[in-house]
Structure 1
Amino acid sequence: MRLILYSKPGCHLCEGLQEKLEQILETQNLGVELEIRDITTREDWLLAYQYEVPVLVLANLPGAEAFEQPLPRPSPRANVQQIQQMLCKYLSNTKKK
Structure 2
Amino acid sequence: MRLILYSKPGCHLCEGLQEKLEKIQNLTFELEIRDITTSEDWFLAYQYEIPVLYLVNPQQEGVSEQPLPRPSPRASVQQLEQMLRKYFPND
**TM-score if structure 1 supplies the norm length?**
0.83
Q: Which runs of 5+ in 2 are unaligned?
A: none
Equivalent residues, number: 88
- CA distance in structure 1 between the partners assigned to 2:78 and 2:63 by the alignment: 29
Q: Which runs of 5+ in 1 are unaligned?
A: none
* 2:30 is the counterpart of 1:33: yes
Runs of 4+ in 1 over 4 A off after TM superposition: none
**TM-score if structure 2 supplies the norm length?**
0.89
Can you list the C-alpha shifts for 1:3-23, whole angstroms capped at 9, x where unaligned?
A: 000000000000000000000
- Counting aligned pairs with the same residue, the percent is 75
* 2:19 is the counterpart of 1:19: yes
SS of 2:78's partner is helix
* 1:9 alignment partner AA: P
- CA distance in structure 1 between the partners assigned to 2:88 and 2:45 by the alignment: 24
* 2:39 alignment partner AA: R
Match of 1:44 in 2: 41
SS of 1:31's partner is coil
Match of 2:3 in 1: 3
The offset of 1:78, in angstroms, is 0.5
- CA distance in structure 1 between the partners assigned to 2:28 and 2:76 by the alignment: 21
Match of 2:51 in 1: 54
SS of 2:86's partner is helix
Match of 1:72 in 2: 69
CA RMSD of aligned residues (A): 1.5
Larger relative helix fraction: 1
